[in-house]
A and B are shown apart, each in its own frame.
Chain A
Amino acid sequence: MKELIDTVLKERKAVLLSIVLGAVGGITAVGLFAMSGFIISEAALKPPLYFILLLAACLKLFGFVKSVSRYFERIISHEATLTILNNLRMNFYDHLERLAPRIFTKYRSGDLLARIVGDVETLQNFFLRVFYPPIVTAIVFLTTILFTMFYSGWIAFVILISLVLTTVIIPPLLMNSHAKVGMAKLKKRGELSTEATEFLYGYRDLALSHKLHEQAEELMAISDDYAEEQAREGRMIIRDQAINAFIAMLTVAGVLILGSYFVTTGQLNGLFLAMLVLMTLTVFDFAIPMALVPTFKKESEQAMARLDEVVTEPLGKESDVGTLIKKQPFSLAMQEVSFNYADTATLKDINFVVPQGTRAAIVGPSGSGKSTIMQLLLDMYSVEKGIIRIAGQPLEEIKSEDLWSKVTVLLQQNHFFYGTVRENLIIAKRDATDDELREVLDEMELDFDLDQHVDEKGENFSGGEKQRLALARMWLKDTSVWLLDEPFSALDPSTARKLHEKLMKKTVGKTVLLVSHRLVGLEDLDQILVMEDGKLVQAGQPEELMEQQGLYMTLKEIERNTIALF
């Protein structure tokens, strides 16, 4: 919460202006009605007309000042709010950037989006409804009460009492019941969306075991419950508004009763009675929204807590500190490395060296930990036990950004951004000419136009096209160390074979680590690492492994049997 207040206070000038303008607007609004009450009473005493016209002119002026100050108050406070939200969003994103990709094992990206859009949006209420309006209300009321005391201390006291009732005593009392109903509603809502998701994802399986109708009925029951809970909350809000409106109106009646009593006893001049009544009627317009302040405050706190949850995740190693890698190409090695993290496959005591300028492959069934090794070598996670060495240096001493700039990486999930083919290629090489880009596209046998549109996540391309586009990026970056995770998994056999040969030619003399669940074509490599269940079970030259009766042999056997290529 303190953090939120700090963010708000960065817009000090806007905060101050909003308060001043809000107060001016409020006081003139109250003054406007007080004055019209006074004029009408005065008129009854038949004063000269010019006097009334003078007062009426004042009235106009008040009205104008009120509208103008309201207008600017709104503009300034909203502008400030949007700036605050903007800062919060970017701050959130900056944290995410540093936390990626670790954060994705914990939060789904849709969830993160909900936070950055929805929760940040909720926070707009903090400044607009929680932070400064109570101050404005306090100023307006104090002014009114002071003014009233001038005529009658008792009436001022009545106004003060009901102000305290409507803003300080009742709202917190109401908040608790709100919180309860709100929770019940949220629970039902969660239930509805989980069950609906299950209904849609499992649609085919439900249909095939003809449980569709039953499940739909169940969903409808939940939907009805949810609507009832919402209605309950709606009724509660109406009830609360009614309570406050009732108190405000009773105060007006109270002022009228007291006032008329004092007029009959001569303690108050009857001329001012209409003024006091109309003034009370107006001033409570400011008190009624105060009833919701605690609710909005609570909501803001919850939204902020959800943002904080992500923002306060430990950041891990900074990516821009550490030493530079001196040798090129460099070696890659793991010593006694164990690793266990959320959704990634576990690794146990992994030991290997890929000497500089040699090429190795990691093979094994899916889920055996091949990709995790890649992620660890790229410093995307920190290991719990053991040492990873890059060019002989421990990885934790190395500046990650330097490492990333010196390796050519193909991940299993390669991201393509919404834009053009050119934009998606030149992220690998800023200064590449169009001819250069066309050349690598040719090399990959991709018949793409550079200006061709790329949908979000490259969804307008087939898996094979996306994979080749990712490979084209490798060809452009072309550093002395290559890490590739299943580079040809989405290609048809003949293209895969051709590209594999091209890769072999391209990487002569470079350090290469290739993750593959296919064994065909790996015979030319210097070393093969066989993984199973997070353990390195075999390692050596391909010929050596063929002679051993081990997992490698079995995998070869299965592969002969599986035509997973189409």
Chain B
Amino acid sequence: MKWLQSWAMKEKGVLVGNIIFSLFISFAIIIQSAMIVKVVDAVFINKNSFQSLLPLFGILIGAIVLRVLFNSWNNYLGVKMSMRVKKKVRQALLRKWEKNPLQSSMKGQAGSKVTMLVEMIDQLESFYRDYMPQVIKSIIVPIVLLVAVTMTHFYSGLILLFTAPLIPVAYIIVGMQTQKKSEKQLMELSNFSGKFLDLVQGLQTLKLFGQGKKQRDELEKSNRTFQKSTMGILKVAFASTFFIELVVTLGIGLIAIEIAYQMITFETMHFAEAFFILAIAPEFYNSIKDLGSAFHTGRGSMAAAEVIEKELNTQDQPVQWGEGTLRELPKLEIKNGQFSYDEHFTMKDLNFVIEPKSRVAIIGPTGQGKSTLLNILSGVYELEQGEIFINDKLRSHYSQDQWFSGMSYISQNPYLFTGTVAENIAMAQGEFDENRMAESIKLAQLDQWVESLPNGVHTKIGEGGRALSGGEKQRVAIARAFYKQPKIVFFDEPTMGLDLQTEQLLQNAMDAFAKTTTMVTVAHRLHTIVNADQIIVVNKGCIEMIGTHTQLQKESTLYREMIGGEQYEGTH
């Protein structure tokens, strides 16, 4: 709530506008009612001529026009404020994601982040569009009307003053009752959604085990529970509306009787005053009532606000960079490095050197830190303790741009952007170089594939474009790396058996890169391992051994076992 309001407070102009328009609306209501009363009074009691009423009609129509206009403008302001806040919150979120270190950006699912950016921020809308202007209106209009009634007739004013608080009280009681229930309802909705997704994805498994019927019943049950809790909330809300309507009827009824006494028994009140009070009273109660419905719509924003606020407030540790330039091939050195992913997994005692132009293979069992080590070395993750040196200077000495423009990172599942093949390979690196492009495509053995495409290198790929197989994606990523002509290449070798062509390419690419650059590979292929100048065996977050293939094979039974013992010996 505070967070939502703090954004509104930045829109002072809009808030002042709301106050002014609400005042004008109140005046328009009073004038409109007064004119109606005057006309009826004139013809009914005073028997005036029709001609004498014409100016009154003019004022009445004027008041109507102004009331509608002020009301619209007041609402326009709400729309404006919600638009501005949404823009600003989205910007804040995007800035945050842009500045985030990669390690936290890659955490969590992209899907839920997109939901946050699009749907959740949209949910803030009702708070600024409906709730805020209504709050202001619901404070100002009743006060002005109350003053008008009290000035006309003191006791009627008193009745309004004492019955009005019953309405907010009813809302507060309902609010307290429904809050828990609506939390429960939200939970049940998410249970239903969860159950549904779970079932839909497991449908094939269920069919094969003949369990479809039973699970369907459970889904139906979950659906019914959701229905029931929704109804529970609605019942409370309807009961409160019922109560409030009774309060309003009671209030107006009291006023009517009191006025009747005044008019008939005491003869202290005239028709015009009585009619005026009776015309204003419903307007008075309605404007308070409207606050309640606005409050319900505003409530939806609060849950969303909480999630967004939390995301904006999380602190991350970014990778430190400086301004230094990097010209030579880098020599990487890591000293006493430590890194923990979460509570469960820590890498420690990382100590080794990667010489320029050397080939390094990182091997080890799944989930024991190979990819994490690659991310640490490539500048995606920051160490918690220890240092990384590039050419004997701390990594934080160099500029981020310098480092990233001098390296390539080929992941297991490279991402292709919506765009042409050429755009995906060049990735806007300086000026487009056609020769270099052709060369890269050839080195990545993509030339035949590119020729088979309808528009060659200008064929659209990525989302909404042509779908690529895993092997093709891999090759585009390798072409991307060739085009970049990096000083160092980080390569997460695919674990799956790929098509023969890609397998062959992986070998060729390794050899081609090794001629000019440093290669750090998370390796799954014997070719890569055997040809490495240095093999780093990672296990349980530690470096188990470092050495060359011949060394390790001689000295370590564990290594022999790891790279597939008998199967390997069979071929050599």
A and B together in one complex: yes
What is A's interface to B at a CB cutoff of 8 Å? 32-33, 36-37, 39-41, 43-44, 46-47, 49, 52-53, 56, 59-60, 63-64, 66-68, 70-71, 74-75, 78-79, 82-83, 85-86, 89-90, 93-94, 96-97, 100-101, 109-110, 112-113, 116-117, 189, 192-194, 196-205, 207-213, 216, 219-220, 223-224, 227-228, 230-231, 234-235, 238-239, 241-242, 245-246, 249-250, 252-253, 256-257, 260-261, 263-265, 270-271, 273-274, 277-278, 319, 365-367, 378, 380, 401, 404-405, 407, 409, 411, 414-418, 427-428, 456-457, 462-464, 473, 477, 492-493, 517-518, 520, 554, 558-566
Contact yes or no, A227 B76, CB < 8 A: no
Within the assembled complex, what's the spacing in Å between the Cα atoms of A199 and B365? 31
Question: Given the complex, which residues of B lie within 8 Å of A238, measured CB to CB?
Answer: 72, 75-76, 79
Question: Given the complex, which residues of A lie within 8 Å of B105, measured CB to CB?
Answer: 200, 203, 207
Contact yes or no, A223 B110, CB < 8 A: no
Q: How far is the CB of A270 from chain B (nearest CB, A)?
A: 3
Contact yes or no, B79 A234, CB < 8 A: yes
Q: Quick one: which of A36, A100, A192, A401 contacts B278, CB cutoff 8 A? A: A36
Within the assembled complex, what's the spacing in Å between the Cα atoms of A365 and B570? 22
Question: Given the complex, which residues of A lie within 8 Å of B471, measured CB to CB?
Answer: 367
Interface residue? B411 (CB, 8 A) = yes
Interface residues of B in 181-197 (CB under 8 A from A): 189, 192-197
Known contacts A43-B274, A231-B80: A566-B257 contact under CB 8 Å: no
Q: How far is the CB of B80 from chain A (nearest CB, A)?
A: 7
Question: Given the complex, which residues of A lie within 8 Å of B541, measured CB to CB?
Answer: none
Known contacts A201-B110, A260-B53, A561-B527: A273-B264 contact under CB 8 Å: no
Interface residue? B148 (CB, 8 A) = no
Contact yes or no, A36 B246, CB < 8 A: no
Closest 5 pairs between A and B when the two form their complex, measured CB to CB: A415-B202, A270-B44, A63-B249, A100-B203, A200-B110
Interface residue? B392 (CB, 8 A) = no
Per-residue CB proximity of B274-312 to A under 8 Å, as 1/0?
110011001000000000000000000000000000000
Q: Quick one: which of A97, A241, A366 contacts B203, CB cutoff 8 A? A: A97
Pick 23 A–B contacts, CB within 8 A, sort by A.
A33-B282, A49-B264, A63-B246, A63-B252, A67-B242, A109-B201, A113-B193, A192-B118, A194-B463, A208-B409, A227-B83, A227-B90, A234-B129, A238-B79, A241-B75, A245-B71, A274-B275, A428-B209, A477-B209, A562-B497, A563-B524, A564-B525, A565-B564
Contact yes or no, A100 B417, CB < 8 A: no
Within the assembled complex, what's the spacing in Å between the Cα atoms of A116 and B49? 65
Question: Given the complex, which residues of B lie within 8 Å of A211, measured CB to CB?
Answer: 427-428
Question: Given the complex, which residues of A lie within 8 Å of B234, measured CB to CB?
Answer: 74-75, 78
Contact yes or no, A263 B259, CB < 8 A: no
- Give the interface SS of chain B, mostly helix, strand, loop or mixed: helix
Question: Given the complex, which residues of B lie within 8 Å of A565, measured CB to CB?
Answer: 564
Contact yes or no, A208 B407, CB < 8 A: yes
Per-residue CB proximity of B215-245 to A under 8 Å, as 1/0?
0100110011001001100110011011001
Known contacts A366-B498, A366-B499: A78-B231 contact under CB 8 Å: yes
Question: Given the complex, which residues of B lie within 8 Å of A256, measured CB to CB?
Answer: 36, 39-40, 57, 60
Interface residues of B in 35-53 (CB under 8 A from A): 36, 39-40, 42-45, 47-50, 53
Within the assembled complex, what's the spacing in Å between the Cα atoms of A250 and B496? 75
Residue of B nearest to A490 (CB): B366
Interface residue? B268 (CB, 8 A) = no
Interface residue? B117 (CB, 8 A) = yes
Question: Given the complex, which residues of B lie within 8 Å of A245, measured CB to CB?
Answer: 68, 71
Residue of A nearest to B234 (CB): A78
Known contacts A60-B249, A100-B207: A249-B50 contact under CB 8 Å: no
Most chain B beta carbons < 10 A, residue from A193, A216, A223, A277: A223
Question: Given the complex, which residues of B lie within 8 Å of A68, measured CB to CB?
Answer: 242
Residue of B nearest to A409 (CB): B208
Contact yes or no, B193 A227, CB < 8 A: no
Contact yes or no, B111 A198, CB < 8 A: no
Question: Given the complex, which residues of B lie within 8 Å of A220, measured CB to CB?
Answer: 90-91, 94
Question: Given the complex, which residues of B lie within 8 Å of A109, measured CB to CB?
Answer: 197, 200-201
Within the assembled complex, what's the spacing in Å between the Cα atoms of A563 and B535? 14
Question: Given the complex, which residues of A lie within 8 Å of B570, measured CB to CB?
Answer: 560
Q: Quick one: which of B43, B415, B499 contacts A260, CB cutoff 8 A? A: B43
- A-B contact count, CB below 8 Å? 391
Interface residue? B563 (CB, 8 A) = yes
Interface residue? B557 (CB, 8 A) = no
Question: Given the complex, which residues of B lie within 8 Å of A274, measured CB to CB?
Answer: 40, 44, 275
Known contacts A43-B274, A56-B253, A462-B367: A197-B114 contact under CB 8 Å: yes
Interface residue? B568 (CB, 8 A) = yes
Q: Quick one: which of B87, B210, B224 contacts A223, CB cutoff 8 A? A: B87
Contact yes or no, B198 A456, CB < 8 A: yes
Interface residue? B352 (CB, 8 A) = no
Within the assembled complex, what's the spacing in Å between the Cα atoms of A518 and B567? 12
Question: Given the complex, which residues of B lie within 8 Å of A492, measured CB to CB?
Answer: 365-366
Contact yes or no, B238 A97, CB < 8 A: no
Contact yes or no, B80 A44, CB < 8 A: no
Q: How far is the CB of A513 from chain B (nearest CB, A)?
A: 15
Q: How far is the CB of B436 from chain A (nearest CB, A)?
A: 15
Contact yes or no, B275 A110, CB < 8 A: no
Within the assembled complex, what's the spacing in Å between the Cα atoms of A278 and B93? 51
Interface residue? B433 (CB, 8 A) = no
Q: How far is the CB of B221 from chain A (nearest CB, A)?
A: 11
Residue of B nearest to A225 (CB): B87
Interface residue? B211 (CB, 8 A) = yes
Contact yes or no, A231 B79, CB < 8 A: yes
Known contacts A210-B405, A227-B87, A414-B205: A67-B249 contact under CB 8 Å: yes
Interface residue? B515 (CB, 8 A) = no
Known contacts A56-B260, A67-B246, A83-B227: A417-B496 contact under CB 8 Å: no
Question: Given the complex, which residues of B lie within 8 Å of A558, measured CB to CB?
Answer: 497, 500, 503
Contact yes or no, A70 B242, CB < 8 A: yes
Interface residues of B in 58-89 (CB under 8 A from A): 60-61, 64-65, 67-69, 71-72, 75-76, 79-80, 82-83, 86-87
Q: Quick one: which of A44, A264, A457 contacts B201, CB cutoff 8 A? A: A457
Per-residue CB proximity of B467-506 to A under 8 Å, as 1/0?
0011100000000000010000000000111111001000
